[in-house]
Amino acid sequence: MLQIDEWDSTDPLLGATKGKTFKMYQKDTVKPGESENQNDNLNEVAAMTTYKDVPHIEFSLKSYSFNFKVPKEVAEYLKSNQSR
């Protein structure tokens, strides 16, 4: 589906229109003395942004951003999942 082994690192795209952003979340770590139900907060840990007219994505993790050229099938797959 995502064919991650086919992604090529690239420079950020200037002037390209960003599309959908897929956000990834993780629950807080349960600390000693807390029950698992005490800490149900979700924190955003990463985001993947598509571009409307080009097969590229931007993957952000904390304060880092990585840009990739992806196969056209991957870009189409991600676009087809944007309305869900």
Question: 80: part of which helix (H) or strand (E)?
Answer: helix 72-80
Its pTM stands at 0.78
pLDDT of residue 32: 83
CA–CA dist 44, 50 (Å, integer):
17
pLDDT in tens, 9-32: 999 989 999 999 999 999 887 778
**pLDDT at site 56:** 96
Residue ranges in the chain modelled with pLDDT below 50: 83-84
pLDDT at 84: 43
pLDDT value at position 60? 97
Q: What is the DSSP string of 12-57?
A: PPSSPPEEEEEEEEEEPPPPTT--GGG---EEEEEEEEEESSSSEE
Q: What confidence score (pLDDT) does residue 83 get? A: 46
Residue with tokens 């589906």: 1
